[in-house]
Copies of this chain bind each other. A is one copy, B any other.
Amino acid sequence: MTTIRDVAKKAGVSVATVSRFLNGSGYVSADAAKAVTEAVEELEYELNPVARSLNTKRSNLIGLILPDITNPFFPELARAVEDVALSYGYTVILCNSDEDPKKEKNYIESLKKKYIAGFIVTSNQLDAPHYANTKLPIVALDRAINEKVPVVSSNNKEGAILGTNALLERGCRNILFLRGPEALNPANDRHDGFMEAIGKAGADHRVVTCPFQYAESQKIAERELRNDPGIDGIFASSDVSAAGALKAAVLLGRKVPDDLQIVGFDGIAMGEMLSPGLSTVAQDVYKMGAIATRVLIKRIENKPVEESFYEIPVKLILRGTTRSVE
């Protein structure tokens, strides 16, 4: 392996000059620059990032902490993070936290020892005191940690209004809202949006808390549909819940979208595979990940960050679980 000393010798300069040239720090004459460039070329020198890390106490590692990559929401996020990180020369470390603060803390501490450059943290938990102490650059998705940590999230409230109105405009007068867990910021924002839209329209409605899990959602939807056969619309706070509701409706023999219309939230790929295809309020997950990563890298590189709150617009996608509006 060729080292910086080999390069220095070949170029007839000192290692300090080589290092300065390579880092663009300090003064280097044109002659020296040329000699170093040539030596690097000839020796096919490549800087050793570990040696560099050891004394700069920096690295190009980014930690991506998420509850579970298996959750259909996260792969696309991870993909975006990795794409952007790669394009800036960073490497992504995958951390499944299972929402367990202990696991999160372990990741943070063990990666800190590797001089990790920063973290992108996705969690459903509202608070996480152990992040507050961390001096490292962090960007959060969907949750506020403190004022100094930039947050990227979807325009959840607007999205819920969009979704609710889609049902109202298509004639729904008795809407079941499958809201997500109270502990989740986004779920609460969506709830606010739903209430606002439904309040304006003055339509009948019912709100039920429902985890973002398929089987459980199906069970809850079935119960609600049995209890109140008059329900003519379901707005679910996640596509997985919507899929459960759709399954329940089909099993109960409810005609979708003729008797019952359904709108989900998230826009995961599965939506189009269902029959009928799931209408949904789609988040631009890729964009969320990409922006979060760009913001993080700006922070890491001490470049100015314009804002500390980024709201990504959502988009209504209409498929077969809603009728066309007359």
Contact = CB atoms under 8 A, between A and B. Distances in A.
Contact of A50 (B64, B70, B115): B115
B82 A96 contact: yes
B96 A79 contact: yes
Contacts of A183: none
A107 to B, nearest CB: 9
A69 interface: yes
A94 B93 contact: yes
Q: Which of A46, A49, A68, A74 has the most CB of B within 10 A?
A: A49
A289 to B, nearest CB: 11
Contacts of A30: none
A72 B69 CA distance: 11
Contacts of A83: 96
Contacts of A324: none
Given A79-B69, A91-B110, A273 B243 contact: yes
A199 interface: no
A91 B116 CA distance: 12
Interface of A: 46-51, 53-54, 59, 64, 68-70, 72, 74-76, 78-79, 82-83, 91-96, 110-111, 113-115, 214, 240, 243-244, 246-247, 250, 269-270, 272-275
13 contacts: A47-B113, A50-B50, A50-B53, A69-B69, A69-B78, A78-B94, A91-B111, A92-B93, A92-B94, A94-B94, A240-B273, A246-B275, A274-B274
A254 to B, nearest CB: 12
Contacts of A54: 48, 50-51, 54
A113 B69 contact: no
Given A69-B82, A247-B275, A274-B275, 12 more contacts: A48-B54, A48-B113, A49-B113, A50-B54, A68-B79, A70-B76, A72-B72, A72-B75, A94-B94, A246-B275, A270-B273, A274-B274
Nearest to A273: B243
A257 to B, nearest CB: 14
Given A51-B54, A270-B273, A75 B82 contact: no
Contacts of A79: 68-70, 96
Nearest to A103: B86
A290 to B, nearest CB: 14
A95 to B, nearest CB: 7
B93 A50 contact: no
Contacts of A243: 273
Contacts of A272: 214
A91 B91 contact: no
A274 B276 CA distance: 10
A54 to B, nearest CB: 5
A118 to B, nearest CB: 15
A-B residue pairs, 7 tightest by C-beta: A243-B273, A94-B94, A250-B275, A69-B75, A270-B270, A70-B75, A50-B53
Q: Which of A50, A110, A272 has the most CB of B within 10 A?
A: A50
A246 B95 CA distance: 35
